[in-house]
Structure 1
Amino acid sequence: MEGPGNSHIYRSLQPVPASLLIFWNMPTTAQVTIEAQPTKVSEGKDVLLLVHNLPQNPIGYIWYKGQIMDIHHYITSYVIDAETIISGPAYSGRETVYSNASLLIQNVTQNDTGSYTIQIMKLVDIPKPSISSSNLNPRKAVETVILSCDPDTEDVSYLWWINGQSLPISRKLQLSENNRTLVIFGVTKDTAGPYECEMKNPVSSSRSDPVTLNLLSCVEKEPWWPLLNSAKSNCQLK
């Protein structure tokens, strides 16, 4: 389960004494802290993992058993707007998540020993992206152009469009690993655009204004005097 948010790990001491679970707080940031109430709990008792200093305007919380945030370790989550609790594969029936993000574990057993991770989901405002180009006036079929989708933003996906459609599979078009940069080899009329880039997260998206490359068509001119041995290029916009 992915999305913008902050993750904080809460783990227990190891090894665990017989019939006794001892929890301690290990936050990954100074802002959010997790407090166990009580700090020591015997088997069969309840423990509350209380979350302090939540960020503003969260949209939900997800609790995981352990430090791996995937579907297999997903215990339970709370969606704030819908006031909905969604249980996952690691849910034992004894965990309850509250609207303040705290997690109650009832009738504690030895199987509850270990790390607990909370992922706090937040809305990320996506700015309107813009396209920057290494060359807006490339020579036709000669020059390579690099387009970048700005700004560089965390927790978003980048998508590119040409002529209002998703990019075709072509050796002339190459995306960077995170799709933020597009390389156009030997720009031609078919690959001149217009281009648009889109920034997207699970809850919103924003698309740039279109950018079209202006192709220069270059013609080699013969020297006007035979003694001159260098030809000149005359490039014009097409």
Structure 2
Amino acid sequence: MDLSRPRCRPWRKLVLLASLLACGIHQAFGQMFISPDSLIGVKGFRTVLVLENASQDAQEYSWHRGAEDTVENMIVSYKPPSNSWLSGPMFSGRENVTKLGDLVIRRSAFTDTGNYTVRVDTGNETQRATGWLEIQELESNPEIWVNTSSVVEDVDSVAAICYTNATNVRWYVDYTLVSSNDRMTISPDLKNLTIHRVTRQDRQLYCEIDTIMEIPRRSEILSLTVAYGPDEVLLSTSPSIFKGVLSAKIGSQVDMACTAFSVPSPKYHWSHNGSLLSFSDASITLPSLAWEQMGRYRCIVDNPVTQLTMYREFQIQTPREEHSCCCKQRFLHLRSQSDLRYDIFPDFSP
């Protein structure tokens, strides 16, 4: 099959297209011919034998099985002026002739293989042409295999095999056609793909082949589960944090929450002044802030599959004016306790 040769005329919209073998030769002599001379059709698909350089004032097109245009070999004939057609002994019920004289065979079968002869009558002359049609089986979809479907980003690799007899194999990763690069390698026979460093974008994987007349056939789509993250810990609080400090009054409510992008979903832990808290949720609420709840808080996020851990921390303090007032009250309280000690022990002097 030579796809580089010119075509005599554009193909109309067909289910099946064929290559042109000898169009240039026929066109040079201006004689009628079947395009192409040798056509490969696919079982179960529609096949069209296109008539080229036929007389424009044709009064009848008749198609025949074999190399002769005898009455016994006639499939069907069509008369454009009267828009009538007549079936012959070789008519199977699947053939039809277009207004341009092309023969259409629906649901092509292996028994359709053979020579076809067309006769065109103009009233003044008769033209004849013969072509060969071969019906072949469409190759089945290729099968695909991968060594693993659960991987860790930037750590694991994936090896895939496309099981097919085709020589033209294409690989798609996340529905994008790929080729060998610094992250992927495709074998010389195109049937093996290795992704050396899997990323989170490598979610779907499949191979595709071209069969008869370049009809593509695709394998099943395999989904990869790529573990990644956490990438970043995002912290949200009420009241808001400013320069790493959350200012809140004693007795007020404090809400703290952190999130992270990670697959699978990460685990959350909280610590207060270096001590791990019993909370295992992404958020904590302190309904009435107490003195002992002041200090440094840390939200810890870890992914048990990737074994990556990240954290964000901040400080809870009272507002500056309240902090000064409270310190003064505590000082006066301690001072009063000291004076009381002097009254109980008058002889004691510090």
- TM-score band, normalised by shorter chain: 0.3 to 0.5
Is the radius of gyration larger for structure 1 or structure 2? 2
Greater relative contact order (CA < 8 Å, ≥ 6 in sequence): 1
Q: Under a length normalisation based on structure 1, what TM-score does the superposition of the two structures give?
A: 0.41
Q: Under a length normalisation based on structure 2, what TM-score does the superposition of the two structures give?
A: 0.29
